Structure 1
Amino acid sequence: MPITKSQVKYIQSLGHKKFRDTEGVFVVEGPKLTDELLRAPGMRPRVVYALPEWINALPVATRHGLMAGPPDVSHDATMLRAVEPAELERLSLLSTPNQVIAVFEKPVFPPPVLDKGIHLVLDGIQDPGNMGTIVRLADWFGIGTVLCSPDSADVFNPKAVQSTMGSISRVQVLYEEPGAAISASGLPVYAALLEGERLYGIGRITRGWIVIGNESKGIRPELQGLATHRVTIPRIGSAESLNAAVATGIILSHLVGG
């Protein structure tokens, strides 16, 4: 059965945050990311649209599990739908669709423990690609919680989801003003700033908040005021600044990867 206009409209609507929030879902595109999330514990697909060759390459158990899933009543579709390339293109949020598009429920995590361990704070990170890459970096370095100010990019933005490369299923991303949680935790706070203590002299940490600021404005003054350590990546050349995700990777490699 060909896809319907309502199915196309639904998938396209999930490019907007308000519809993702209302439905509690997000869109995943491409075989690598879709395959990983299908294998991830606790990830629940709502509907999968895919080319026949992708479906035929699925492990038998995965294919049967998807086909046995409950019908997606609101879109008149079973969980796994074979589509033609032209139909996939109509559904896709990308300029170049790639074999499969899936709608997953947002992951559910247990309540975070914020008074021990290491956590990331993202203050006004605007670029979805940076957001997704930072979540992937957190996963790489074993950080399970990322606390974002409400004006940060939505981690379920399609571009952010692609950039996480599956880490979205393992890292809990929270959105709230971070000041209260930081103050209540009693943990040290390492704020990434242009002027401060040289990163390379600090050594490895086992507890604390690592705060990364907005790509152009940095960390807002009220959060700077909570910093117990002002951390600087020493500049050798003439570049004015670093990409937020690049800076996060450098800082984590020295403070956490030690």
Structure 2
Amino acid sequence: MSVCLVDKVRTVSDAKRDFYTHHTRPINSIYRRFVEELIVEMHLLSVNTDFRYDAIYALGVVTAFERFMQGYQPEQDKSSIFAALCQATGGNWEQYRQEAGEILSQAKQMSVQELIAKINSSASTGGENRLVETLQAIANRSNYKYSRLFAIGLYTLLAEADPDILRDPEKRDRTLKEVTEALHLSPEKLQKDLDLYRSNLDKMDQLLKVLEEALEAERKKRQQQKPEQGTAQINSDEKNP
């Protein structure tokens, strides 16, 4: 009788347990839901047989993390949280940040139309341009595993290549359609993911604004109480010489 040994696929619980092993400090309650949802999203991709890590996905992870973790306190915990997030889902935080920074820098040197032309070209860059090689590989892969984090990375790149798309919704949507069609991806799916991403960013910004206002009001209240407490102490001392 033969026994078939199958490697155990890591679960979401395994990933979360690993995360809290690497980052042992409590997560600020306002940000906990985002961090845990990101762990789940990255984990499910990591165990998908069609998923392949690439620099645009890395940029999406870095961008989403930085945008949604704005204002996190204590500030120094952010690095530990990001490192633990990558480690718990089979990645390397240094690689994520390095490659994300590299392709972002390369996007600044090209227009969107140049990027689209490069995607459609079969000419190799000889390893000199990670961004172009990554885009070409995606366009040529029939079973590319699209993800929301890839969409965020792509959007960040396009905004770097042409900042006007952030200010002109019509141009933004037209550009996204052209690029996704060149990559043989669904423009509708990407647009839906980015609409949700921008909506969630707006909600987070509003929440942070409310918190800042509440903290400022609390600071003013404490400042007003200090003189009153000092006066009360003086009056007490005068009554009890």
TM-score in terms of structure 2 length: 0.24
Work out which of the two has the higher radius of gyration on C-alpha atoms and give 1 or 2.
2
Higher helix share: 2
TM-score in terms of structure 1 length: 0.23
